[in-house]
Amino acid sequence: MQPNLSAMIDVIFLLLIYFVTTANFTPDEGALTVKLPQGTGKTTQDLTLPQRPLNIVLSPAGEVECRIRIEGYPQAPAGFAELATLLVQLQYDPERGRSSGAFKPDSPVVIRPKAGVRWQHVANAFNAAVRARYTNINFAQVSK
């Protein structure tokens, strides 16, 4: 006796479609929380804070890459992991055993990308500053 295969195939295809549509192939997205600058009608204010800000300057290099520089410091980090390490070295936080640096964890950190820098690098610089445990991180207006 021949079992009726077509009905079974029907159901198996349905199950296949079900699992294909429910599967999630893209990696999960997460959030980085940012405090926006507040104040006058201007988009961002020029910083007139008593503390010296730590400026991270990003400029485009080639089609997709970018150059990282910390204003006033000659070493240029090659990547964002190196930037995070450098930011830790520049931090003064005796509670965490960081006594070499000149910037407190709540010193303003300003990320200053040029207009042509890709967003991923900007987000990466922000992430590096968060990893180094700075709490007051801002984005500068576009500089040409």
Partner 1 sequence: MPSQIFHRGPTTPQMNITPLIDVVFLLIIFFMLVNNIISEQSVQMIVPQLDEPTTRELLDDSGRIIVNIAPAEYAHSERQGNPLLFDGEARFIRVGLQTFAADDLDGVTAALVEAKEAFPDAEVVLRSDGALYYGVVQPVMGAITRAGIDTINLVAFMPERGAATIQIGE
Please report how close the Cβ of residue 55 comes to partner 1 at its closest, in angstroms. 15
Question: Count of residues for the chain?
Answer: 144
Q: What is the dihedral of CA 52, 32, 79, 106, to 10 degrees?
A: 20
Whole-angstrom distance, CA of residue 63 vs CA of residue 41: 35
| 122 touches partner 1 (CB under 8 A) | yes
Q: How far from each other are the two terminal CA atoms of the chain, in whole angstroms?
A: 80
Whole-angstrom distance, CA of residue 9 vs CA of residue 28: 33
Please report how close the Cβ of residue 34 comes to partner 1 at its closest, in angstroms. 5
Which of the stretches 8-16, 49-57, 70-78, 85-93 binds partner 1 when contact is defined by CB under 8 A? Answer: 8-16
Residue 77: half-sphere exposure toward Cβ, Cα within 13 Å: 21
Ranges within 20-79 binding partner 1 (CB under 8 A): 21-22, 27-38, 41, 43-44, 58, 63-64, 79
**For binding to partner 1 (CB under 8 A), which residues are involved?**
7-8, 10-11, 14-15, 17-18, 21-22, 27-38, 41, 43-44, 58, 63-64, 79-81, 84, 113-120, 122-124, 126-128, 130-131, 135, 137, 139, 141-142
